[in-house]
């Protein structure tokens, strides 16, 4: 297991570097110049050149990137072009907000999705099952830029229970986490339902039933673990996405997370900050994937034999 | 509590170039001069000034104190302006300040500036916030002489407190700026009462609803000028008849009424009627028949133009309306909404047929030089369409070295006439400043330039603000 984990970590490095190179190359390829964004229009040519040199933007793009990678290895992510503050500081101050939101959304998704999925699989075609289908359809039809304001209108303006937006205490977490969690719970419930139905048709489950085990025991001890692997994969992917910054939800709820920082950095062509954010996002994604694999290996003995 | 759509990137007036930074630093800092509603320079920290010759300006300071208790002295002014000589700061300072050859204190209350060449825009450049000499040497000086001092700046809020050294002290105990990037969410926060004031950051569609929710919606004529830029190097757009056809094809009144909620005035040129440099010609009227005739006369065939615009919802909608109106008169136009940095990059590179943008906060007509002089094509200036006219070159160069107001007005009137005739850009409208505020916030008067300085005189009537947050 340890060997497997370290192998995965070693493989993560080229992944991170690859992501970084692609993103930065794309960003340099599209029109837009950080110096223009900072100085606006009325600056003179000499001033532009002076600022470009000051910010190190007169070096070729590949050089900027290799300097960034070298800096990163030394633990220095550079400074933001727009605010002049260290990139590491800017990224780190956003992480708590992002973790908090992703964690709360995951909790809501599990709390709603698991019972719903289990109930739906236990009685396919029942009302609970149809509720799951409805929730999944709503999730597809109501993206967070739509669901978010609806929740705000209902539970912050008409019924002033929670703050409209911002990050101030536990109450402000409820609406954004629900916006994200509801959508996740729908996907989770549908995935769990279909995996469970597949698992219930497995030979081992039939054997367990034939042995005369109680239906609840068959369900929990034999079907659920078999269904869990696929569900954990889906959950891991979704959580990775959340930790990478739920950009739309963060914007709607003025949530100061990593996603919004990245969007702002791209808008301002703040290359060092974009690089820092991308690195953080990619690292988080890789870490969540690794965690997912380890959890799967813990659930599924077949995977353990392979690693 | 004031809602902002983006976080300020700098709280030092020397580097505060974006709109949010300018709003916040405008309350924390004061310059030698400021501008009034007509865009005229008026005294601020300087009680008066004189210019014995076009290259010398002498400012006489009044009584004022910085937020750290130190008096504002001539040496602070000198230190502030000298600090601009470092490359990073110099680059971000006003163009006219580059003409400053020397700045010196004549006594504790008198500062003398010596310029390299006469600069009509100098009194606009001296609006720069004055910093205490003790802190001006550093890169991020946040102490000023304004009515509010900076208390805390976080990632989603900036907190100001009334400065004890301000005279008269502001009635509000403080101001909390909340960063709220989504327009719908800002409107909901206003309705809930967690934000008390938002300026020019609510979509016109939401204004009637906000009025129903019991908020004050104030609209005052503004100076932000929206226009269509044209690529004059393009063979189709090089024909003045096509440009006139475009100007006549757009029904400005209808767009203002139906898309902008009535909160704009159809524009005839760069400066609105209340500005001293506003001159004569009326806006091009909506006349699709004439536009069609002009297109037919120009024999341009069936051109297909691209209109680049910002991807902000309302800009995209306006772009689509304009494209439809141009299509009506035989100029097929496709709208391409772009994210801001891409749009701006394309516009500066000259990669466009048409683009829709606005000039914000232009008070000094010397701006004509930057946008119309034939040598001011990017990257040097903002003549993005490649306009060239010998008379405009002469007039805009001459006017920038004259300080006599009447003489300048006459020169700029001629520039405006030529621009009206040649249409290097097609004027659209001047948008209003729209303020949505809590009814209990009294005494806030929107300024045409959109700054928030009148918050220093505002007060609460009854109760605690933002109590429900």
Q: What is the pLDDT of residues A235-267, one digit of tens each?
A: 888 888 777 667 888 888 888 888 888 888 887
Query: Quick check: helix, strand or coil at residue A291?
Result: helix
**Strands B148-153, B157-162: parallel, antiparallel or unpaired by DSSP?**
antiparallel
* Inter-chain CB proximity B380 and A36 less than 8 Å: no
Q: Tell me the sheet residues that pair with B59.
A: B49, B111
- A vs B: CB pairs below 8 A: 128
In this prediction, the residues of chain B whose per-residue pLDDT falls under 50 are: 466-469
pLDDT at B416: 92
Q: Are B316 and B276 in contact (CB under 8 A)?
A: no
**Strands B110-115, B100-107: parallel, antiparallel or unpaired by DSSP?**
antiparallel
Does A168 reach chain B within 8 Å, measured CB to CB? Answer: yes
pLDDT at B464: 56
Does A56 reach chain B within 8 Å, measured CB to CB? Answer: no
DSSP classification of residue B379 = T
Among partner residues B155, B181, B194, which is closest to A163 by beta-carbon distance?
B194
pLDDT at B243: 94
Based on DSSP, count helices (H) and strands (E) in chain A, helices before strands: 15, 0
* Inter-chain CB proximity B380 and A45 less than 8 Å: yes
Does B273 reach chain A within 8 Å, measured CB to CB? Answer: no
Question: What would the two tokens of residue B459 be?
Answer: 């007060």
Look at residue A90 and tell me whether its pLDDT is greater than 80.
Answer: yes
DSSP classification of residue B205 = G
CA–CA gap between residue A144 and residue A242 (Å, rounded): 13
Does B214 reach chain A within 8 Å, measured CB to CB? Answer: no
Stated length of chain B:
469
- The chain-wide mean pLDDT, for chain B, equals 87
pLDDT at B415: 93
pLDDT per residue as tens digits for the range B302-350: 788 999 998 888 899 999 999 999 999 999 999 999 988 788 888 888 8
pLDDT at B391: 94
The phi and psi torsions of A273 (rounded to 5 degrees) equal: -70, -40
Count Cβ atoms below 10 Å from residue B173 Cβ, excluding itself: 13
CA–CA gap between residue A116 and residue A133 (Å, rounded): 10
pLDDT at A240: 80
Does A40 reach chain B within 8 Å, measured CB to CB? Answer: yes
Nearest C-alpha neighbor of A197 from the set A300, A135, A128, A120: A120
CA–CA gap between residue A287 and residue B259 (Å, rounded): 48
Among partner residues B185, B341, B379, which is closest to A165 by beta-carbon distance?
B185
Cβ-Cβ contacts under 8 Å, A47 against chain B: 90-92
- In order, the DSSP letters of B260-306 are STT-EEE-SSSS-TTSTT---PPPPPP-HHHHHHHHHHHT--S-EEE
CA–CA gap between residue A36 and residue B381 (Å, rounded): 12
Q: In chain B, positions 386-415, which contact chain A (CB-CB < 8 Å)?
A: none
Phi-psi region of B333 (alpha: psi -120 to 50; beta: other; left: phi over 0): beta
Q: How confident is the model at residue A111 (pLDDT cuts 50, 70, 90)?
A: very high
- The chain-wide mean pLDDT, for chain A, equals 81
* Inter-chain CB proximity A264 and B92 less than 8 Å: no
Nearest C-alpha neighbor of B416 from the set B437, B395, B430, B436: B395
DSSP classification of residue A218 = I
Q: Are B363 and B275 in contact (CB under 8 A)?
A: yes
**Strands B425-438, B264-266: parallel, antiparallel or unpaired by DSSP?**
antiparallel
Q: Tell me the sheet residues that pair with B355.
A: B229, B308
Radius of gyration of chain B (CA): 23
Region A184-203: mean pLDDT is 85
Does B379 reach chain A within 8 Å, measured CB to CB? Answer: yes
pLDDT per residue as tens digits for the range A156-180: 888 888 888 888 888 889 999 998 8
pLDDT at B463: 58
CA–CA gap between residue B17 and residue B30 (Å, rounded): 16
Quick one: closest CA in B to A168, which residue? B469
pLDDT at A305: 58
Q: Give the dihedral sign, CA B59/B64/B68/B69.
A: positive
Region A207-236: mean pLDDT is 80
pLDDT at B469: 36
pLDDT at B468: 38
Does B194 reach chain A within 8 Å, measured CB to CB? Answer: yes
Q: Are B96 and B121 in contact (CB under 8 A)?
A: yes
Query: Quick check: helix, strand or coil at residue B1?
Result: coil
Does B88 reach chain A within 8 Å, measured CB to CB? Answer: yes
Q: Are A167 and A97 in contact (CB under 8 A)?
A: yes
Region A287-301: mean pLDDT is 81
Look at residue A23 and tell me whether its pLDDT is greater than 80.
Answer: no
Helix or strand holding residue B229 (H, E):
strand B215-230
Å between A269 CA and nearest CA of chain B = 7
Look at residue A150 and tell me whether its pLDDT is greater than 60.
Answer: yes
Q: Which residue has the tokens 């230190």?
A: B79
Does A160 reach chain B within 8 Å, measured CB to CB? Answer: yes
Radius of gyration of chain A (CA): 24
Question: What would the two tokens of residue B203 be?
Answer: 């979509």
Q: In chain A, positions 16-35, which contact chain B (CB-CB < 8 Å)?
A: 30-33
Based on DSSP, count helices (H) and strands (E) in chain B, helices before strands: 15, 19
pLDDT at B412: 92
- Residue with the bigger pLDDT between A6 and B17: it is A6
Quick one: closest CA in A to B311, which residue? A267
Query: Quick check: helix, strand or coil at residue A79?
Result: strand
Count Cβ atoms below 10 Å from residue A188 Cβ, excluding itself: 25
Task: Specify burial of residue B76 (Cβ count, 10 A radius: 0-12, 13-18, 19+).
Answer: buried
């Amino acid at each position: 297991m340890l060997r497997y984990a370290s192998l995965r970590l070693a493989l993560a490095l080229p992944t991170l570097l690859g992501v970084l190179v692609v993103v930065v190359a794309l960003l340099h390829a599209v029109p837009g110049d950080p110096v223009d964004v900072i100085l606006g229009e009325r600056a003179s040519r000499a001033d532009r050149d002076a600022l470009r040199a000051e910010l190190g933007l007169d070096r070729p793009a590949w050089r900027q990137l290799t300097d960034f990678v070298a800096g990163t290895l030394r633990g220095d992510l550079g400074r933001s072009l727009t605010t002049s503050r260290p990139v590491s500081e800017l990224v780190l101050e956003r992480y708590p907000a992002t973790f908090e939101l992703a964690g709360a959304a995951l909790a809501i998704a599990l709390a709603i999705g698991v019972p719903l999925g289990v109930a739906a699989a236990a009685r396919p075609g029942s009302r609970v099952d149809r509720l799951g289908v409805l929730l999944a359809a709503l999730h597809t039809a109501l993206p967070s830029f739509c669901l978010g304001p609806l929740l705000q209108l209902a539970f912050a303006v008409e019924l002033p229970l929670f703050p409209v937006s911002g990050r101030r205490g536990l109450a402000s977490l409820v609406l954004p986490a629900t916006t994200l969690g509801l959508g996740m719970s729908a996907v989770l419930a549908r995935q769990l339902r279909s995996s469970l139905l597949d698992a219930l048709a497995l030979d081992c489950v039939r054997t367990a039933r034939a042995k005369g085990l109680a239906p609840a025991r068959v369900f929990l001890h034999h079907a659920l673990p078999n269904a869990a692997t696929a569900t954990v994969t889906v959950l891991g992917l979704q959580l990775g996405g959340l930790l990478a910054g739920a950009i739309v939800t963060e914007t709607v709820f003025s949530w100061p997370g990593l996603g919004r920082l990245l969007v702002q950095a791209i808008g301002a062509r703040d290359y060092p900050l974009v690089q820092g954010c991308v690195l953080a996002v990619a690292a988080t994604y890789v870490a969540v994937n690794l965690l997912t694999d380890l959890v799967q290996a813990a659930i599924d003995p077949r995977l353990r034999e392979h690693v | 509590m004031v809602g902002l759509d983006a976080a300020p990137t700098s709280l030092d007036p020397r580097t505060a170039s974006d709109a949010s930074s300018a709003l916040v630093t405008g309350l924390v800092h004061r310059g030698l001069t400021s501008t009034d509603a007509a865009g005229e320079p008026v005294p601020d920290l300087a009680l008066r000034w004189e210019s014995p010759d076009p290259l010398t300006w002498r400012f006489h300071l009044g009584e004022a104190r910085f937020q750290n208790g130190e008096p504002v002295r001539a040496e602070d002014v000198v230190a502030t302006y000298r600090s601009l000589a470092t490359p990073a700061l110099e680059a971000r300072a006003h163009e006219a300040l580059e003409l400053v050859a020397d700045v010196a204190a004549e006594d504790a209350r008198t500062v003398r500036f010596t310029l390299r060449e006469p600069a009509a825009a100098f009194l606009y450049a001296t609006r720069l916030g004055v910093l205490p000499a003790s802190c001006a040497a550093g890169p991020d000086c946040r102490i000023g002489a304004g009515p509010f001092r900076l208390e805390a700046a976080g990632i989603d809020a900036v907190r100001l407190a009334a400065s004890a050294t301000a005279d008269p002290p502001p009635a509000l105990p403080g101001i909390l700026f909340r960063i709220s990037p989504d327009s719908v969410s800002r409107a909901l926060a206003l309705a809930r009462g967690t934000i008390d004031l938002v300026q020019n950051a609510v979509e016109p569609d939401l204004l009637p609803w906000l009025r129903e929710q019991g908020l004050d919606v104030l609209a005052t004529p503004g100076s932000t000028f929206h226009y269509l830029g044209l690529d004059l190097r393009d063979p189709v757009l090089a024909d003045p008849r096509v440009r006139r056809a475009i100007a006549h094809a757009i029904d400005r009144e209808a767009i203002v009424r139906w898309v902008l909620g009535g909160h704009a005035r159809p524009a005839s040129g760069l400066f609105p009627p209340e500005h001293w440099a506003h001159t004569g010609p009326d806006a091009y009227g909506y006349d699709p028949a004439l536009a069609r005739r002009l297109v037919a006369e120009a024999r341009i065939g069936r051109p297909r133009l691209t209109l680049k615009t910002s991807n902000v919802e309302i800009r995209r909608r306006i772009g689509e309306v304009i494209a439809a109106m141009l299509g009506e008169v035989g100029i097929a136009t496709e709208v391409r909404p772009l994210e801001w940095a891409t749009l701006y990059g394309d516009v500066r590179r000259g990669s466009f047929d048409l683009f829709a943008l606005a000039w914000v906060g232009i008070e000094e007509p010397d701006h004509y030089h930057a946008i119309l002089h034939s040598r001011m094509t990017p990257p040097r200036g903002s003549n993005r369409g490649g306009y060239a006219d010998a008379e405009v070159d002469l007039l805009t160069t001459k006017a920038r070295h004259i300080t006599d107001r009447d003489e300048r007005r006459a020169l700029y009137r001629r520039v405006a006439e030529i621009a009206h005739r040649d249409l290097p850009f097609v004027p659209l409208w001047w948008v209003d400043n729209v303020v949505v505020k809590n009814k209990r916030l009294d005494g806030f008067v929107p300024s045409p330039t959109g700054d928030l300085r009148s918050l220093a005189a505002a007060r609460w009537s009854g109760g605690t603000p933002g109590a429900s947050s």
